[in-house]
Structures are given as C-alpha cells and as structure tokens.
C-alpha cells in the first residue's frame, strides 16, 4: 500500500538496495583485518521471519481504504534510521510497531485520521521519509493504539510564484520528487540534507533541518514563508509574508515542533534560481587550530559562501589524502545571477592571511560555462557522495562496529575548550567500551558567532552487545557536549533520544509554555507523545 | 528621579528640545499657505497645568526608593509617541497615567517590582525608551493600580566576546549609550531604527524592530544569540548558541512578545566590526513600476547590500529633487573586511539592465580611505537626518495637520495590486476626511520574496477633531493593508493599536497557544495587559 518500490525494513533505502550476503562477508573480512576480530555476519532479516503482534485497533470504515495493517508496512514504519534503530530492526525486534499505517492523500484525510486518533486516544505519529535518527518516529510505549500517519502521498508542488521566487508545496514530498518538480521551471529549494532521498519537506520544517549549504541561510527555518498545519483543534495557517513584526512568529513555533503540535500539510517555501556561476577552493592549514581560526575569519567577513566546510586532520587525511596534521577548508560559492570569481578571491585572501595555503591554479571558477569546480569533482558530485554515504553503513550493521555521528554548535570563544573536552570524553569512553577507537570532526555549518561541529566516531564493540555499548557512548558524548556549553542538536532534532539533554538545555519555563501551547492544540495528547516534552 | 535631562511630556525628545512658540507660529504660517487655512497655535502644555489623579497605590517600603510618584515622571510615561499619543498628551489628557514609575537598576529589583505587581494584580507595563507608536506602553483601563517599569537604568554592556563578535548587554540601554560603549572596542550593533535615540535593546527585541539596514539580516531577531527574561514565575534564560535545531526556538517566542510574557533584562547580541569599506549609488528609474521591478531583481541576486531603499516618484521628488515621475533606488554596501567596489558594480549592472540610470562617476566607492560615499553626504549623514526626523513633527502637533506613516510587507507577485489598493483606499479616505491629501511610499527593507513598503500620508484636518479623523484614516489604511494580503506591521509592532487587524492576521490557534503560554508565565495576567491578546 506504500510506494511501489518497497523500503527496507531495517536498512537505509529500498529493499532492492539492501547489501547482499557477499557484500557483508567482504565487509566482515575488511573489519577483521582492521580490528583483528573475526565476525561471522548474522543472517539478514526478512519480513517473513519477523514477529509482529496482531493489530490492536481497526480503522473505521471511512478510513479503511487509506489504512494498512500489512506486516511490511507496519515493520517499515516502526523505526527511523539511527544506529540503534537499524540494529534493533536488523535483530527483528518489532515489538512496538504501529498497529496500522495511514496513507492520507489529502488534507481532509489527514484531518479525519487525526480526529479518529484524538477521539480514541491513539498515539498519532506523523511520518515523512522516516529518516529520523533521534527516535522521532518510533512509537511510544503505553498506548492502546498506535497510528503512524505516512504523508508521502502529499507530494505535489502546487503552485510556483516566479516573481517572488516561492512555491506552495505539499509537506509529504520527498527531496528528489520536490526538486524534480521545480527543475523544469529553473528553480530549486537548494536544501540538501544527507537524508535528502528519504526525508520530506514537512519533516525538514518540524525538525529545523540543515541543508548542506554552510553559511547565511542554512536551516530550513529561513526558507519558510508560511505554513499550514492540521491539529486536533482545526487548521493553523499563517499569512504568506516576506517578513513581519506582528507578534512572536507563529511559524517559528511550528518550526522545530517535531509533530507534537500538529501535522504540517503544506508550506509556501522560498525557492531559488538554479545556480549558473560557481567557484571553489580547498585551502590547507598547518593544523586544526589554524584551520578553525582561518574559518572564523572567513565567515566573519560575511561573504556568505555556499560552502565553508572545515575538515580536521583526521577527516582531511581520510577524505582528501592530506598528511594527518593539516586541516582542509573547502570554500564554495554559487549564484544564479552573479559571477563568483571576485568573491572566492576575497575569501581565499582572508584564508591565506590566516596561514592557509592554496595554489592560484587550484582556485576554480566556473563563470557560467559549466567548467567543473573543485578538485576531484564539482559540488554536485560531492552532493551525490554525501547523499549516498548512508548506504555504506548498511553492510556494517550487526558486525560489531559501533560507528555514529553527533552534531552541535558552540560560539567561537568556547570552541577550543569545547572541542578538547568532547574529544577527551569520547576517547575515554571508546577506550572503556571498545578498547579504543577513532574520533574526527568537521564543521558542517559555520556562523559568524560560531561553528556547527559534526563529530564522527567508530570503535569495535561486542557483536550482540552493540546496543548497550552504543548507549554508553551516546550518553558520554551528549554529556560532554552539554557540559561544555553546546546544543544537544544543531540539525538532527530532539525526538525521544535527546530528551534528557534537551530538558537540561531549554529554559524550564519554555517547556511549561510549550506544554500549555500543545494542550491547547492537542487536548488529548495524541500527537507524537514523548517527543520534546512528556505526554 | 528619571534621567537628569527631562523628557518632554508630549513631544518627541527632551523637554529642552520642545519647539518654541515662534517655531510653532512659523509652522502654522507655512501650513496656512499650503492648506489655505488659518490656525492659531494652541498654547504648549506644561506639567503645572496638567491634571493627574492622585496615585491609587503606594510602593511597599522595600521598593520605595526605586519608585516615583512624581507628576512629571508619571506624565512622561503615560504615552508612547504615536500621532494620537502626542496629540492627547498635548491636549493635557493624562487621565490614565501610571500610578507610579519604578526604576529598577538590577535584575533583582525588576523581579521584586514584578512580584509585587503580580501579587496585587497591578498592571505592570515594561518601558524602555517609550518610543512605541502602537499603544505598546499606554496603561490599559480597568486596573486598580498601574506600575510602569522603566528599565533605562539597566544600561550597561556587560561583556564583549571579540572572538565570536557578541556582547552581553543589559536590556534597558538606549541606542546611543549602547553604541557609545561598543565603539571604543571597534564594534557596533549596527541597529539603527528611526527611534534609535529613545528606544532600548529590550524594546527592539520584544517588538521585532527593524534597523535601517535593508537586506539580509535586518530585524533584530537575527542578532539575538540568547535572552534572559524575568517572569512572575521566575527567570527564563536561553543557552548562548550560534545556531540550534533543538525544538522550537525559545528566543523566537520572546522576540515579538511585547512585554506580555516577561521583562527581558539582558541579551547576548551578535555585534559587528565597524565598517571601513563603503560604496553607494542612486539609480533613477523612469517610473514607479520600473523601480520596484529593478529593486526585485537586485535583491534576488543576493548580493545583500546594506541599503536598498526605493523611493516612489513623490518621495524622490521631495527628497532628491527628481521630476515627480522617476523613482530612485539608493544602493549602499558596507563592510569591515572587504572592499565593496565589485559588489556595487554588480548591483548597478543589474539595476541598469532593468532600465535604471546612473552615471559611472556617480557610483561612489570608499576603499577604506574615508572618502564620502553617496551624493549629498554619506550613510552616516543620512542616518543622522533619519534619526532627527521625528523632531520636525513636534512643531506641527495640534495645528490640524494629520500626518502619519504605516508600514507592511507583501510578496512581489501581489505588490502591484496591493500598492494600488492601498493608495486608492488612502486617497479616498483623505478626500472624505480632509478634502484631499498626499500619499507616498518607500521600501524600507527588501527581501528576495517581497518588499516592506512604508507609506506616509498627510492631510489637513479640523483642529480639535484630529484624533477622531486620524482614527478613521488609520482604520481605512489598515483595512486596505489587511484585505490586500499584507501584514499589519513589519516593524512597528502590534501593541493595543493594531489589535483588530492583528487578530485577523494571526492564526486563531496560535492566539490560543500564546494565551496558554502567557498564562503559564504570568498567571495573574499583569504583564502589559491588552497587548497582542486579551487579558
């Protein structure tokens, strides 16, 4: 009943893209060489061997045609795609799968499903592309019925306003389908999170998603012109405006609400002309500190590059073959209207003055002729790699490797101490849990007042005990981030996973205000219970 | 007990800057010539001749030293500085002046005053510089006691983080004192609303103030890194972060809250290096439509000029001596780090391609040498004129002239029809009320998806009946703005004045959520009652 190409019940992507036995054997062999441990890949789960309890509820007649009790549909909607999600799904643990999955294809159907849930006290879980890595779509315990509302049939670009460069778009559309509908008109939303293939516009809005563009307008927050949201109390719709000073922004309460206030059905989004002019440069710095100091100076000049990604020595070595001491700053400019050569020269001049090195002929400028920019491929190629990356991890599930990422943001003044504290905490916990491991960092987004560091780590755990081990590492990393003054999430969202740290981060009085606001919209407390605040 | 230099009880600015009898006689003469009506200037009000009821409440002993019952203090805090405010104050109508004015000089004192108000059900009116033009500081009817809390003693820049370019600043500081404290360090907040002299940081934050910079980050919203707010239920403080995706932004609920949720006591604000490089150009377009179409194309190229102000033919004629048919686009660039010549050339090229005209030698570039930019003075001079403008209106109060402004924002696709509808409505109502009048427009801020038009109008009313006449004009203009799809305010705020139109604009469900949020913070409903929502 879902899409024609079936999603894997455990891996990132479609069933047809699941790794083969041979892929996994090869990966196990590679891992054995790297970590000195022999692992027999456990068998891949199949839907036939999965146990799911019988559905506890039945859709009323009026909704029967849009609701599915199908075992595969239910299993495929039981988890997001975090490390523990994939592991639990791989292990065949579907004990709390939704009782049914609803596939509304109109706002009226969303309303009807939500009313049914609210009237009966069933947990209603809004579901876009299912790419949450924070338990944002995982059904909570303690409900007599769980209805996951899959919004992917709301997948149309309804209207394009070329004059204002804005489009009215249904919230369930996934990234590729959204871009495919804008492209013939010469436009792009230009929002490319790593989850792009399997995340939706509505999901981006309610999780304050960050695209892969690095400075100025990066969060989806800045591209929302107005939103329309269905709640158990009716429709919430803001006026379409380029800017306003009329009270606190209603949109900013919806943005980041993670499905607890309502279900976004459509939004007017600011779109852009597809870029024609590009420029890029990779600047090497002698070490990590020189790299982040140089990055600070470039971003504070407010040239607003599309990309400004700093790789630490570990990442720069792995990704670009540097010497393991140098850091690498990737600078990219893009525009539909204006040649970017002058901009990149200014940015490179600042980076060089801060100790960065790059040969003149390594600064690549595409003045509209389509010349590829950047060494080893243009921005598009990088984007493709970036979006394909989650597939690589599918082969590793259940082999004992504990590898994950976490992301945050911190002001520049505190970053050096923050970074040291996080690395120390992670090195310690990886030592304790895995007997050692690796940690690396890059800046995914950069603001004039601070970077958004993105940490990746890996250690070899005990096959079968990875979940518990991952939990210990996650807790240690999150504690370090919070104690050193960062945010528990810059763009992965809060969900249920980040609750303990989020609860410490947000003002208590804000939590109280949000709880009351939710109560006024969702009096029976059915919308995504446990996310952001307690039910 | 207030500042040493006393504020006028009716005019913009200090008592010492009130217009003289001679000034007003001269203005009345000028007006008689322009409108063919002879007006005898009514006498200027003085505090001695003003009637104010005896204070109905007494401060408790612990607060007595920071509370004033002084007649002048109470009169000076009875109004903001809208057209009707000045008129009513000029007419000596202080019937609802606050019973006392509190001058806390620490957060503890703010807390103590607020607790006293909350415990006794007295209306607590937060007051920064008192420049509200929307009844934002005017005491409401129906309270047994009214306490205006003047925050201007919280006037210190507490901390500067040069690395992150941010500063921790007390919320009561007025614009000039704020800039004076940043200047020795080479920094500026660079937020210059027209009210700059008599508006405070906290006031800017809670009203979503717009500075005079025109594109990209214009609203104060974008400069807030974190806020600290006192409520009757305790302190609300957000974590200092350059960016975050952790739930709906707590700051964005404070920003625009207009004093109904709490009193902002301090904030970490993003500051900037003082600009060294400047460039400016004034581009003429053959008519109004060509001007706004050219402006749209310039802003959509995302060069992010500091200024991008379009004057309609009426404004361009009055302000710059153009022919009454042409519109004028003023483009300005500024930077502390990067020469701006290349940027302005790109912007001018786009404007010219759209039909704009400017001689090459009228494009002025200051490459750090301090060469003045712009014809007839640099950006600073314009800023000075801009900030002095409210003084000019002091001489006109009570002479029968009805002259005011209103501002909004609208997407580009709807602007032509919107502008025509607003002009028609204003022309009609000025004809009916004043037998004729003038209306003109400029864009104060411009977004890629639409402009923020700022309308000025003037007509000659009936001396003594101006208030009622102004109300009719205000209603007609506001109705037109709302019916044609605009926002009731882009940066003047809602207050009590804009309530009918704001109530129609914001989603009803948002109003309910905001009401519940307020109730959780201000259970006795004492904070600025009647602003944004009903008590």
Query: Is residue B258 predicted with pLDDT exceeding 80?
Result: yes
Residues in chain B within 8 Å Cβ distance of A250: 506-507, 510
Give percent of chain A with pLDDT exceeding 90.
89
Query: Is residue B344 predicted with pLDDT exceeding 70?
Result: yes
The lowest-confidence range among A72-86, B185-199, B333-347, B370-384 is: B370-384
Interface test with B, best of A507, A514, A531 (most B CBs within 10 A): A507
Residues in chain A within 8 Å Cβ distance of B523: none
CA A168 to chain centre: 22
For A89-144, what is each residue's pLDDT tens digit?
Answer: 999 999 999 999 999 999 999 999 999 999 999 999 999 999 999 999 999 999 99
Rounded (10°) angle between helices A288-300 and A341-353: 140
> Can you give the C-alpha Rg of chain A in angstroms?
23
Phi/psi for B73 (5° steps) reads -60, -45
Minimal Cα–Cα distance from A332 to chain B, Å? 15
CA B225 to chain centre: 21
Residue B468, number of CB atoms within 10 A of its CB:
12
Question: Are B260 and B302 in contact, with CB atoms under 8 Å apart?
Answer: no
Place of tokens 């590492």: A473
Tokens of A304: 């607003």
Question: Are A402 and A82 in contact, with CB atoms under 8 Å apart?
Answer: no
CB contact under 8 A, B509 and A210: no
Place of tokens 């500190």: A289
pLDDT of residue B373: 59
Tokens of B441: 């427009």
Q: Which residues contact A196 (CB under 8 A, 6 or more apart)?
A: A175, A176, A387
Nearest to A284 by CA among A304, A314, A311, A318: A311
Phi/psi for B127 (5° steps) reads -140, 120
Residues in chain A within 8 Å Cβ distance of B346: 338
Q: Which residues contact B376 (CB under 8 A, 6 or more apart)?
A: none
Query: Is residue A249 predicted with pLDDT exceeding 90?
Result: yes
Exposure of B435 by Cβ count < 10 A (0-12 exposed, 13-18 middle, 19+ buried)? exposed
Residue in A with minimal Cα distance to B243: A409
CB contact under 8 A, B411 and A494: no
| Euclidean distance between CA atoms B287 and B292, whole angstroms | 9
* 3-state SS record for B30-94: HHHHHHCCCCCCCCCCCHHHCCCCCCCCCCCHHHHCCEECCHHHHHHCCCCCCHHHHHHHHCCCC
Residue A183, number of CB atoms within 10 A of its CB:
11
Interface test with A, best of B226, B510, B523, B527 (most A CBs within 10 A): B510
Q: What's the rounded mean pLDDT across residues B74-90?
A: 97
Residue in A with minimal Cα distance to B167: A449
Residue A444, number of CB atoms within 10 A of its CB:
25
pLDDT of residue A112: 98
Place of tokens 């972060």: B241
Tokens of A489: 């999430």
Residue in B with minimal Cα distance to A247: B256
Tell me the CA distances in angstroms from B180 to B31, B156, B383, one per residue in order: 39, 10, 16
A/B interface, count of CB pairs below 8 Å: 288
The lowest-confidence range among A215-219, A337-341, B141-145, B472-476 is: A215-219
Minimal Cα–Cα distance from B47 to chain A, Å? 35
Question: Are A154 and A112 in contact, with CB atoms under 8 Å apart?
Answer: no
Minimal Cα–Cα distance from B150 to chain A, Å? 22
Minimal Cα–Cα distance from A466 to chain B, Å? 27
CB contact under 8 A, B516 and A514: no
Query: Is residue B529 predicted with pLDDT exceeding 90?
Result: yes
Minimal Cα–Cα distance from A173 to chain B, Å? 21
Left, alpha or beta for B241 (phi > 0: left; psi -120 to 50: alpha)? beta
Query: Is residue A374 predicted with pLDDT exceeding 80?
Result: no
CB contact under 8 A, A449 and B249: no
Q: Which residues contact A442 (CB under 8 A, 6 or more apart)?
A: A309, A310, A311, A312, A315, A453, A454, A456
CB contact under 8 A, A242 and B411: yes
Residues in chain A within 8 Å Cβ distance of B258: 247
**Pairwise pLDDT comparison (B535 vs A159), residue with the higher score:** A159
Nearest to B128 by CA among B196, B210, B218, B60: B196
Tell me the CA distances in angstroms from A4 to A1, A14, A16, B79, B294, one per residue in order: 8, 10, 12, 65, 47
Residues in chain A within 8 Å Cβ distance of B512: 233, 520-521
| Euclidean distance between CA atoms B379 and B334, whole angstroms | 9
Task: Provide the sign of the torsion angle of the four alpha carbons B522, B524, B528, B530, taken in this order.
Answer: positive
CB contact under 8 A, B448 and A242: yes
Residue A90, number of CB atoms within 10 A of its CB:
19
Residues in chain B within 8 Å Cβ distance of A487: 239, 241, 243-246
Nearest to A246 among B240, B342, B488 (CB): B488
| Euclidean distance between CA atoms A322 and B343, whole angstroms | 35
CB contact under 8 A, B239 and A445: no
For A263-301, what is each residue's pLDDT tens digit?
Answer: 999 999 999 999 999 999 999 999 999 999 999 999 999
């Amino acid at each position: 009943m879902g899409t024609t190409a079936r999603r894997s019940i455990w891996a990132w992507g479609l069933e047809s893209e699941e790794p083969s036995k041979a892929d996994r054997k090869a990966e196990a062999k590679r891992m054995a060489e790297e970590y000195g441990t022999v692992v027999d890949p456990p068998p891949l789960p199949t839907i036939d061997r999965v146990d799911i309890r019988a559905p506890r509820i039945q859709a009323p007649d009026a909704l029967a045609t849009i609701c599915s009790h199908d075992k595969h549909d239910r299993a495929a909607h039981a988890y997001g795609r975090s490390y523990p999600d994939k592991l639990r799904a791989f292990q065949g643990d579907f004990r709390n799968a939704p009782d049914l999955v609803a596939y509304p294809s109109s706002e009226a159907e969303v309303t009807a499903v939500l009313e049914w849930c609210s009237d009966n006290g069933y947990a209603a879980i809004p579901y876009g592309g299912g790419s949450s890595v924070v338990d944002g779509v995982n059904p909570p315990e303690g409900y007599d019925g769980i209805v996951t509302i899959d919004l992917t049939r709301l997948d149309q670009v309804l209207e394009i306003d070329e004059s204002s460069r804005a489009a009215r778009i249904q919230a369930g559309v996934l990234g590729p389908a959204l871009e495919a509908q804008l492209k013939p008109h010469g436009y792009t939303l230009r929002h490319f999170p790593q989850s792009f293939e399997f995340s939706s516009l509505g999901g981006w809005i309610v999780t304050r998603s960050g695209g892969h563009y690095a400075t100025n307008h990066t969060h989806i927050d800045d591209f929302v012109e107005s939103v329309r949201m269905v709640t158990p109390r009716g429709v919430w719709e803001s006026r379409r405006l380029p800017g306003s000073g009329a009270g606190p922004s209603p949109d900013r309460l919806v943005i980041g609400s993670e499905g607890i206030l309502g279900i976004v059905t459509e939004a007017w989004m600011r779109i852009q002309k597809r870029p024609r002019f590009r420029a890029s440069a990779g600047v090497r710095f002698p070490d990590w500190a020189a790299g982040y100091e140089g990055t600070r100076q470039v971003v504070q000049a407010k040239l607003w590059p599309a990309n400004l990604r700093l790789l630490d020595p570990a990442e720069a070595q792995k990704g670009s073959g540097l010497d393991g001491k140098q850091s690498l700053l990737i600078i990219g400019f893009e525009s539909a209207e204006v040649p970017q050569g002058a901009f990149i020269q200014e940015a490179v001049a600042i980076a060089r003055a801060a100790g960065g090195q790059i040969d003149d002929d390594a600064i690549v400028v595409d003045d509209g002729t389509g010349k590829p920019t950047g060494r080893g491929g243009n921005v598009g190629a990088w984007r493709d790699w970036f979006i394909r990356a989650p597939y690589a991890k599918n082969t590793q599930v259940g082999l004992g490797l504990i590898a994950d990422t976490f992301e945050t943001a911190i002001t520049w003044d505190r970053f050096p101490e923050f970074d040291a504290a996080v690395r120390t905490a992670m090195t310690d916990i990886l030592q304790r849990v895995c007997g050692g491991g690796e940690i690396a960092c890059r800046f995914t987004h950069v603001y004039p007042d601070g970077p958004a560091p993105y940490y990746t780590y890996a250690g070899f755990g005990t096959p079968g005990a990875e979940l518990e081990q991952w939990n210990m590492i996650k807790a240690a990393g999150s504690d370090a981030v919070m104690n050193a003054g960062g945010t528990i999430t810059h763009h992965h969202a809060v969900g249920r996973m980040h609750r303990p740290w989020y609860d410490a981060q947000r003002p208590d009085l804000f939590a109280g205000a949000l709880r009351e606001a939710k109560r006024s919209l969702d009096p029976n407390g059915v919308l995504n219970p446990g996310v952001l605040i307690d039910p």
